[in-house]
Amino acid sequence: MTIDRNRIRELCAREDARFIEERPRSMELLEKARTCMPDGVPMAWMVSAYHHAPMFVAEGDGAYFTDVDGHRYLDMNLADTSMACGFTPQPVVEAVAAQMRRGSQFLLPTEDAIAVAEELAGRFGLPRWQFTLAASSANTEVLRIARAATGRETILLFDGKYHGMLDETLLTLVDGEPRPEGLGLPKEAGRRTRIVQFNDLAAAEAALSDSAVACVVVEPALTNVGGVISPEPDFHAGLRALTRRFGSLLILDEVHTHVCAFGGLTRAWGLEPDIVVLGKALGGGIPIGAYGMTEELARFMEGTAGGEGEAADWTVRFAMRVATGGTMFANALSLAAARATLEHVLTEDGHARTAALGERLADGIEAAIRRHGLSWSAYRLYCRSGYCFAPKLSRNALEAQAVADIPLTNLMRVYMANRGVWEALEGEGPAASFAATAADIDLYLDVFERCLADLVG
Ligand SMILES: Cc1ncc(COP(=O)(O)O)c(C=O)c1O
């Protein structure tokens, strides 16, 4: 069954009007905020991510948050997975409060850094770790390490990727060429970046074959274009073989996917990256980015200082190291939060329980799609299951973009918001929170079902 476009427009107009009408306090705050912040928001994404006016939040608890007009939402966006552990996970709240009382930042290591690095090493199979404040800065650093370690400048990415706010990855293919995908990016940003389609090993081979590529950056599954795009069975093994053959490093961006399984998809799928990048949910709500690397790369980072006794002048020593770091990176508070998150929330049991919720979500979505005779499909990726507006799942960004339906996605989001469910951002997909229960997933499915009924009815 196809959905009548007029029906989408009508329903969206009705739901948008209701959204505004039922949120007078948010709209009042927005007016006030416009006088002191562009678009009335402290960070521009907060307005560009939604087709309706942004809403002001009062508080969150578990898998729910409440807006300033008193509406409560089941959170299926998880602040783009950064709040996958739920709002206010108690062990993290307590660890953060205790660390705050003892001092949050010293520009010196605390013991928690060792605990977190050891725990991540055990989970992800990479022995040595560094910490930042966000995944974007972790990705910035790993590109530099890869360039310094290989002596090459070019990087290879996959169409539909998102790796954060880096000039050289904020690129999109225009007529087959990487072009900056936002204002303010240098026109030449794409000069040393190659982009090919996900799941296309022949294209990856062609891009790597001149041995000019320092590193390939890839997510285990694409998670920023059309929900989730899964790798074909031989994709990661093939990519690993190619990177080894042509001397490029393999960087796995698990910033979104590490919440899927204990040790991320790296461990679940037996992947063998040279570097793995984490962030978002790792701090249980406190900012942190992290990357793990092989012993060989760690030695390279140490060795670039020129060896013992040499370069005693610190300015020379600094210049000879890979350009990494930031004043607040790896602060005591981030690491106390990450330790508590790993020990108490992102546990083997927590991952297994949340993955089961993801299966329940996919089963329910599939059943609802069938009941309403829609030619959509459901994808499954542990806690991160969702739906796609086509009978067949996409293999790459081109296919995902061809079936994307922004007006329909906008309607579904606002429809669900008006009924107490905060759906994922456009291009992403819903995800189960570690704080959610089966009853919460059923609430989502009930609202999803009502939305489909209204759409086809
Ligand atoms: C796969 C991936 N990598 C990196 C990032 C950058 O994360 P952050 O915005 O926390 O720096 C994102 C953000 O959405 C992401 O989805």
Provide the 3-class DSSP secondary structure of residue 276. strand
Indicate whether 320 pLDDT > 80. no
Q: How far is the CA of 169 from the centre of ligand 1 (A)?
A: 11
Judge contact between 145 and 292, C-beta under 8 A.
no
Q: How far is the CA of 134 from the centre of ligand 1 (A)?
A: 8
Q: What are phi and psi of 207, to 5 degrees?
A: -75, -25
Average pLDDT of the residues in 398-406? 95
Task: Look up the CATH architecture of domain 12-87+348-456.
Answer: Alpha-Beta Complex (3.90)
Residue 255, ligand 1, Cβ within 6 A = yes
Residue 399, ligand 1, Cβ within 6 A = no
Q: How far is the CA of 225 from the centre of ligand 1 (A)?
A: 13
Indicate whether 307 pLDDT > 80. no
Confidence tier at 314 by pLDDT (50, 70, 90): low
Confidence tier at 134 by pLDDT (50, 70, 90): very high
Atom of ligand 1 nearest to the CA of 138: 11
Indicate whether 352 pLDDT > 90. yes
Provide the 3-class DSSP secondary structure of residue 120. helix
Q: How far is the CA of 114 from the centre of ligand 1 (A)?
A: 24
One-letter amino acid identity for 205?
E
Residue 147, ligand 1, Cβ within 6 A = no
User: Which residue intervals of the chain bear CATH 3.40.640.10?
Assistant: 90-344
Report the mean per-residue pLDDT for the chain.
Answer: 95
Length of the chain: 457
Indicate whether 215 pLDDT > 60. yes
Q: So what's the pLDDT on residue 62?
A: 98
List the residue whose alpha carbon is closest to atom 13 of ligand 1. Answer: 164
Average pLDDT of the residues in 90-105? 98
Residue 263, ligand 1, Cβ within 6 A = no
Helix (H) or strand (E) holding 370: helix 348-371
Judge contact between 29 and 56, C-beta under 8 A.
yes
Instruction: Report the C-alpha gap between 190 and 179 in whole angstroms.
Output: 6
Instruction: Report the C-alpha gap between 214 and 218 in whole angstroms.
Output: 13
Q: How many CA atoms lie within 13 A of 30 on its CB side?
A: 18
182 CB contacts (<8 Å, ≥6 apart)?
A: 170
Average pLDDT of the residues in 195-199? 98
Indicate whether 309 pLDDT > 90. no
The better pLDDT of the pair 119, 313 is held by: 119
Atom of ligand 1 nearest to the CA of 224: 16
Indicate whether 447 pLDDT > 70. yes
* Topology classification of domain 90-344: Aspartate Aminotransferase; domain 2 (3.40.640)
Indicate whether 426 pLDDT > 70. yes
Atom of ligand 1 nearest to the CA of 80: 14
Q: So what's the pLDDT on residue 311?
A: 52
Judge contact between 176 and 159, C-beta under 8 A.
no
pTM above threshold 0.85: yes
**pLDDT tens digits, one per residue of 353-390:** 999 999 999 999 999 999 999 999 999 999 999 999 99
Indicate whether 263 pLDDT > 70. yes
List the residue whose alpha carbon is closest to atom 2 of ligand 1. Answer: 163
Instruction: Report the C-alpha gap between 342 and 337 in whole angstroms.
Output: 9
Residue 280, ligand 1, Cβ within 6 A = yes
Q: So what's the pLDDT on residue 9?
A: 97
Q: So what's the pLDDT on residue 49?
A: 87
User: What percent of the chain is helix, strand and coil (3-state, nearest 5)?
Assistant: 45, 15, 40
Q: How many CA atoms lie within 13 A of 303 on its CB side?
A: 9
Q: How far is the CA of 157 from the centre of ligand 1 (A)?
A: 14
Average pLDDT of the residues in 347-351? 98
User: Which residue intervals of the chain bear CATH 3.90.1150.10?
Assistant: 12-87+348-456
- The token duo for 127 is 């022995």
One-letter amino acid identity for 172?
T
The best mutation among 78, 83, 165, 256 to test binding of ligand 1, ranked by most ligand atoms within 8 Å of the C-beta, falls on 256
Confidence tier at 248 by pLDDT (50, 70, 90): very high
List the residue whose alpha carbon is closest to atom 9 of ligand 1. Answer: 164
Q: So what's the pLDDT on residue 427?
A: 81
Residue 141, ligand 1, Cβ within 6 A = no
